Structure 1
Amino acid sequence: MKAYQIHDFSAAPQVRSLPDPVPAAGELKIRIHACGLNFADLLMMQGRYQDTPAPPFTLGLECAGEVVGCGEGTSTPLGTRVVIYAGQGGLADYGCFPEESCIPLAQGTSYLEAAGLLIAHGTSHLALDRKAGLRSGETLAVIGAAGGVGLTAVEIGARLGAKVIAVARGAEKCAVARAAGAAITLDSESADLKARLKELGGVDVVYDAVGGALGEAAFRALKPGGRFLLIGFAGGTPPELPLNHALVKNISILGLYWGGMRQIDPEMFRSSVEAVMQDHAKGLLTPHISHVFDLAQIEEAFEMLRSRRSTGKLVIRMAPSTSA
């Protein structure tokens, strides 16, 4: 089989030929049909991600496919279509994953859609619905609103009844965020973000996937009792938050490492993923897939992710048929 592997952090990853894996006890063997790309994959290439495995390992945090083999002690039938978060192994023809990490797909959800939904929508659902407790009528500011997770925060925030202010770079990305449900868009390249957010009445919740100066500016526009969600630092650096403001204004700073919630609260984690998949099956959530690539185009796909030229998710098609 083919797999996109890291063998040494000093060298670029490569597509390699490997023996087909055999599932151990408690594992399912999956014929992988699609794999979503994430900013974390870029960090893993450099050994900088918080959960980077020791080389050699196969990249790809989230994937979807079909059960084609079962290890001892498992009960999932062969042929079951599943979506998987395992932290690695998705950019391959086959993979063996713990059965508890494999969540059955609803009928009508394609492999491509599932691979584009899992981390992005899962992150925003867990952050906004469970962590921040976003309520109808509140104001949500989304920093990096046209990115893979940012668009899902716009969509889920609007579905929860919040007034969503989307902050994105350039008119084209602002238009994408508006189409996803943003009530107001602000161009991060031209707006004095703190001043503009305050002019709009301030915000109750900030969803920051970028960090740096933008995150700090949004933090300073929070209302008393506001919540600041630390989602990621796609801009390169964490925001320098004035903690005296957090104290005086009773602001809650909430970090969310989505993958880590599997260990902290596995029941909440799984129920959130299931809720996302059910909402998609009901037509309430839409995967924002910007581009679909084949494995032969993996370098082009990662370069698009690295340069932040995409709006939404990038998905790699691992198998010819991804519509079922």
Structure 2
Amino acid sequence: MRAAQVTRLDGPLAIEINEIDEPTEDGPFGPQILVDVHAVGASFPDLLLSKGEYQLKPEPPFTLGVDFAGVVRSAPDGSGFAPGDRVACVGPYGGAGEVAATGPDNTFPLPDNISFEQGAALPMNYLTAQFALAERAGIREGETVLVHGAAGGVGTATIQVAKGYGARVIGVVSTEEKAAVARAAGADDVVMVDGFLAAVKELTGGVGVDIVMDVVGGRLFTDSLRSLAPQGRLLVVGFVDGSIPEVKVNRLLLNNTDVRGVGWGEYAMRRPGYMTRQWRELEPMMASGVIAPPIGATYDFADFGQALQDMDDRKALGKSVIRVR
């Protein structure tokens, strides 16, 4: 079968589409589900893996692919899945082939109203958003959520999950093109990153927001803290800006605010069944249409590396997806 592989750690444009053996049902940790892959989502871990900069460091050659969607080819008894089932899957890597092996805890039923391309955009970003908002922030209906990087994959996922929980959402973006993406994803208001603090204060009548979802970090961090209402929670998800900010804790004391880390993968992978419970929480939102992942761009399988390069160049809007079939 064809697979998108890292053979040397020279970044996304060094990724090769190679012919390798198909996986088998017998995996290192027991029987596996085999999936005929239709689409793979381009993810930030894929980009880091291609450079050898991810916390997991498999030895090349290895197959990329964190998020993918397709049709079950075979499944072990008791897995809860059967041949022909439409599924979305997530794993550390290995899904970017024509056939992928996965486990029941990493496999989720894909509703008929969600396409394979959207399915490949769902698992990592939407489970991260659900974990951040519900588990870490304790979101409540009627709260206001500020989303940095609101036109990206995690950003659009956070907008939709927050709306599913009954929140008001303010998106922060850098261009009008990205503002249109955030609005289409469901943001109630969208502001430009330059001067976002003043804009947020105006939109909230000077009160501030209850939750900030921050994938950017860097220079925006202090103003994100200042944008919080009393007892607000700032969620640290990533550092797209490239620099890791520091917190002056007196800011937290004065307004009874929190800074909370969001490490979904580490948390979820250590708790069997946790991701399945998350998915069930999201299923009503998928059924209602609140969750409908916006696909920014689609690529042919041969262009897997280019999809990641465009992400690295910050050209991606929404979630980029690679078609396999």
TM score, norm. by length of structure 1? 0.90
Q: Deviations over 1:263-316 (max 9, x none)?
A: 344444321123324421332311111111110122332222112222201011
Q: Is the 8 A contact 1:226 1:252 kept in 2?
A: yes
Q: Which amino acid aligns with 2:197?
A: K
Offset from partner CA, 1:238-283 (integer Å, 9 cap, x none): 3333223123333222222222232344444321123324421332
CA pair 7-247 structure 1, distance change in 2 beyond 3 A? farther
- Find 1:212's aligned residue among 214, 218, 233: 218
Whether the aligned pair in 1 keeps the contact of 2:163 and 2:290 (CA below 8 Å) is no
| CA distance 1:311–1:10, change in 2 (3 Å) | closer
2:4 counterpart of 1:4:
yes
> After alignment, is 138-147 or 246-255 more displaced?
246-255
Aligned residue identity for 1:143: H
| TM-superposed deviation, 1:69 | 3.0
| Residues 120 and 321 in structure 2, CA contact (< 8 A), matched pair in contact too | yes
CA distance in structure 2 between the partners assigned to 1:174 and 1:75 by the alignment: 41
CA distance in 1, matches of 2:189, 2:77: 53
Match of 2:315 in 1: 309
Alignment check: 8 A CA contact 1:230 1:256 kept = yes
- In the aligned structure 2, how far is the partner of 1:256 from the partner of 1:19? 37
The offset of 1:155, in angstroms, is: 2.2
2:122–2:293: 8 Å Cα contact kept in structure 1? yes
Aligned equivalent of 2:54: 49
Residue type of the partner of 1:121?
A: Y
The whole-number CA distance in structure 1 between the counterparts of 2:80 and 2:177 is 47
Please name the residue that 1:300 is paired with: 306
Checking the alignment, whether the CA contact within 8 Å between 1:205 and 1:226 is kept in structure 2 is yes
State how many pairs are aligned. 317
2:249 alignment counterpart: 243
- 1:272 is aligned to 278
Q: 1:196 aligns with which of 194, 199, 210?
A: 199
Aligned mate of 2:85, from 64, 80, 93: 80
How far apart are 1:236 and its partner, in Å? 1.7
Tell me which moved more, 310-319 or 173-182: 173-182
The answer for unaligned runs of 5 or more in structure 2 is: none
- When structure 1 is superposed on structure 2, of 119-128 and 74-83 the one drifting more is 74-83
- Aligned ranges 1:68-147 → 2 under 5 Å: 68-70=73-75, 74=79, 76-147=81-152
Residue type matched to 2:323 in 1?
Answer: R
Once the 2 structures are TM-superposed, how far is the Cα of residue 72 of structure 1 from its aligned partner? Answer: 7.7
Distance 2:97 2:18 in 1: 9
Is residue 31 from structure 1 mapped to residue 33 from structure 2 by the alignment? no
1:65 equivalent among 70, 74, 82: 70
Root mean square deviation of aligned Cα: 2.1
How many Å separate the matches in 2 of 1:157 and 1:281? 16
Distance 1:108 1:139 in 2: 29
How far 1:175 sits from its partner (Å)? 2.3
Q: CA deviation at 1:180?
A: 2.4
| Secondary structure at the counterpart of residue 122 of structure 2 | helix
| Partner Cα separation in structure 2 for residue 106 and residue 183 of structure 1 | 26
User: Is the counterpart of residue 19 in structure 1 residue 16 in structure 2?
Assistant: no
How big is the shift at 1:73? 7.1
2: CA distance, partners of 1:97 / 1:16:
20
- Output the TM-score relative to the length of structure 2: 0.89
Aligned mates of 1:162, 1:153 — CA distance in 2: 11
- Asked whether the 8 Å contact 1:61–1:88 carries over to 2, the reply is yes
- Pair 1:79–1:299, CA change in 2 (3 A): same
CA shift, 1:103, in A, is 1.7
In structure 2, C-alpha distance between the alignment counterparts of 1:75 and 1:206, rounded to whole Å: 37
In the TM superposition, residue 54 of structure 1 has moved relative to its aligned partner by: 3.3
Distance of aligned partners of 1:151 and 1:68 in 2 relative to their CA distance in 1, 3 Å threshold: same
Q: Measure the CA separation in 2 of the matches of 1:264 and 1:70.
A: 23
| Residue 27 of structure 1: how far off its partner (Å) | 0.7
SS in 2 for 1:157: helix
Q: Which amino acid aligns with 1:159?
A: G
Percent of paired sites with the same residue = 36
Contact 1:26 1:73 in 2 (8 A): no
Superposition map of 1:166-177 within 5 A: 166-177=171-182
